Amino acid sequence: MSEVVMDKSQATITELTTIGQLIDGEMIIDGERSQPIFNPSTGKSEKNIDLASVATVEAAITSAQAAFPAWRNTAPIKRARVMFKFKELLEQNAEKICELIGQEHGKISHDAMGELQRGIENVEYACGAPELLKGEFSKNVGPSIDSWSEFQPLGVVTGITPFNFPVMVPCWMFPMAIVCGNTFILKPSERDPSATLFIAQLLQDAGLPKGVLNVINGDKTAVNTLLTDKRVQAVSFVGSTPIAEYIYSTAAANGKRCQALGGAKNHAIIMPDADMDNAVNQLVGAAFGSSGERCMALSVAVAVGDTAGDLLVEKMTIAMQDLKVGPYSNPKNDFGPVITKAHQEKVNAYIDSAEKDGATIVVDGRNPEVVGYEDGFYVGGTLIDNVTTDMLSYRDEIFGPVLQVIRVNTMQEAMALIDAHEYGNGTCIFTRDGEAARYFSDHIQVGMVGINVPLPVPVAYHSFGGWKRSLFGDLHAYGPDGVRFYTKRKTITQRWPSTSLRENVEFAMPTLK
């Protein structure tokens, strides 16, 4: 039996010890099943998450469906005004949001602030809805005939998000879906749900009508209910590739539009002419920032030619001496723990396997000493040299602070190796040669490419998405593709015939002669 625990006038999420559901503007505890949420910096659990039952998810869908007709008919400028207010509230509550991200994800405040800022930029883009939804108009496509295309909302849509960006990735989805006139059900990661629930509450405070955004916390029971309920029209997913593939095929089999973004293995090519000091600085941040738990993290450096490999490893080793891993609460740390004990063990096991397969562990981050936080889920920055493409540590996504170095003779070899990998999310080339960079960006089989830019995450007014098994579906996330994903095109052809222009019966396909 669900129980209402608070309304928006009461205590905020920052004070809750059980993270529940936001349905129809009210915080509900389902009460059937729950599991602990850990603070990865300490390894302790201070909160629980309520795992939604089928009935609770169905209640959220009912709420979203009931809210749809009025929201669909609300003027886009009024929908955008709620987002303008939401942006203000996000900025005013930035510290609280980053604290919640830190407590449950382990991200250091500078990194959490960057995540929040990227999320806010998606809200800013969504504020342009009246312009984005203007449609297309053609006058006189035939005698006294005008034609236009408009972009109508889909209805109830859902988003299922990963642990590594509890604020930014939800902001890729619900602001745009909502300003387009849809109602939304968000299913955040069960590992760090508080920051997500908190921003959803801020959107209520910004004036969003009840039921337009519902948040369901839960596991695969919740996800499967969303994927199979006929009232849900579309699914946005971001997470690991096996789950992305499952979500895409299940959603499609149930007649839903779907975009499912998956995992990654992002390579950086280091050309012989690269500014090596700059490349090393960029690589350190892009490989180890956020403990390597970014889908755009650079996890493989491909050194081209006779000398680049040795120089890269030498300079990386020196740069990594200063890396500081530790709790989220100390802003002097460069990165925090990984998300769970199980994930810490998994990352360590990949380093073990690389060693067993004959690679060289140049800097070993297994079991780092973090004084006072001995139970935290820490892995230090790790550099592995002489990696080959047959190794498990190379083939799989590790999702930890581990950079592997592969050495090749030519740029063509480096590109062939990237193209052969199952993932195609991001990649980067470090070079001073414009011709090589242009060839690389034109031909590489990867969705997001950097030229001397290590994390080429598109800004909010472009769209984000990988190729190959990094994305199932057609449209990328947010930006212009986001508008297309959350709307369906309707094309209307109109004539108001005057009595003097009455037409004869015509059986031929209408054309303009």
Q: What are the residue numbers of the active site?
A: 295
Site for ligand NAD in 288-317 (CB under 6 A): 295
Q: How far is the CB of 159 from ligand NAD (least distance, A)?
A: 9
Q: Which stretch binds ligand NAD (CB under 6 A): 79-87, 119-127, 215-223, 504-512?
A: 215-223
- Closest CB to ligand NAD among residues 296, 312: 296
- Closest CB to ligand NAD among residues 233, 470: 470
Among 34, 39, 103, 164, binds ligand NAD (CB under 6 A): 164
Contact flag: residue 262 with ligand NAD (CB under 6 A):
yes
Q: Rounded to an integer, what is the distance from CA 139 to the centroid of its chain?
A: 40
Among 24, 334, 397, 481, binds ligand NAD (CB under 6 A): 397
C-alpha dihedral sign at 388, 393, 399, 401: negative
Contact flag: residue 42 with ligand NAD (CB under 6 A):
no
> Among 271, 277, 275, which Cα is nearest to 301's?
271
- Closest CB to ligand NAD among residues 169, 408: 169
- Closest CB to ligand NAD among residues 339, 351: 339
Binding mask 408-427 for ligand NAD (x = CB under 6 A): -----------------x--
Contact flag: residue 239 with ligand NAD (CB under 6 A):
yes
Contact flag: residue 243 with ligand NAD (CB under 6 A):
yes
Among 232, 470, 476, 478, binds ligand NAD (CB under 6 A): 470
Contact flag: residue 337 with ligand NAD (CB under 6 A):
no
Q: How far is the CB of 229 from ligand NAD (least distance, A)?
A: 14
> Helix, strand, coil % (nearest 5) of the chain?
40, 25, 35
- CA dist 430 → 265, 279, 311, 441, 450 (Å): 17, 6, 14, 12, 9
Q: Give the strand pairing for 471-472 and 467-468.
A: unpaired
Alpha-helical regions (H) of 180-267: 194-205, 220-228, 241-253
Q: 195: number of CA atoms within 13 Å, CB side?
A: 35
**Two tokens, residue 130:** 């009246």
Contact flag: residue 354 with ligand NAD (CB under 6 A):
no
Contact flag: residue 448 with ligand NAD (CB under 6 A):
no
> Among 380, 371, 377, 432, which Cα is nearest to 403's?
380
d(CA 201, CA 167): 13
Using left for φ > 0, alpha for ψ between -120 and 50, and beta otherwise, residue 408 falls in beta
Q: Which stretch binds ligand NAD (CB under 6 A): 48-56, 155-163, 322-330, 427-435?
A: 155-163
- Closest CB to ligand NAD among residues 276, 418: 418
Q: Give the strand pairing for 183-187 and 213-215.
A: parallel
Q: Under a CB-based contact definition with an 8 Å cutoff, are residues 65 and 79 in contact? A: no
Binding mask 103-142 for ligand NAD (x = CB under 6 A): ----------------------------------------
Q: Under a CB-based contact definition with an 8 Å cutoff, are residues 57 and 222 in contact? A: yes
- Closest CB to ligand NAD among residues 239, 376: 239
User: CB count, 10 Å around CB of 372?
Assistant: 8
d(CA 500, CA 124): 51
Closest residue to ligand NAD: CB criterion: 239
Chain residues binding ligand NAD by CB under 6 A are: 160-165, 169, 187, 189-190, 219-220, 223, 238-240, 243, 261-264, 295, 397, 399, 425, 466, 470
